[in-house]
Amino acid sequence: MSATTGRSDEVVAGAIFRDGRLLLAQRVGPPELAGLWELPGGKAEPGESAEAALRRELREELGVEVAGAQRVGAGVPLAGGRVLRAYRVELVSGEPRPLEHAALCWVDADELERIDLVPNDRVWLPELRARLRD
- Interface with ligand DCP, residue 118, by CB under 6 A: yes
Residues 12-31 interacting with ligand DCP (rule: CB under 6 A): 13
Only segment of 39-47, 91-99, 106-114, 125-133 that touches ligand DCP (CB under 6 A): 39-47
Query: Which of 22, 38, 89, 91 contacts ligand DCP by CB under 6 A?
Result: 38
Residue 19: burial class (beta carbons within 10 Å; 0-12, 13-18, 19+): exposed
Chain mean position to CA 24: 8
**Which lies closer to ligand DCP via its Cβ, residue 68 or residue 77?**
77
Does 59 sit near ligand DCP (CB under 6 A)?
Answer: no
Nearest to ligand DCP of 91, 101 (CB atom) = 101
Contact between 107 and ligand DCP per CB under 6 A = no
Query: Does position 121 bind ligand DCP by CB under 6 A?
Result: yes
**Residue of the chain from 9, 28, 35, 43 that contacts ligand DCP (CB under 6 A):** 43
Beta carbons of 22 and 16 less than 8 angstroms apart: yes
Task: Write out the residues near ligand DCP by the rule CB under 6 A.
Answer: 11, 13, 38-39, 41-43, 78, 84, 118, 120-121
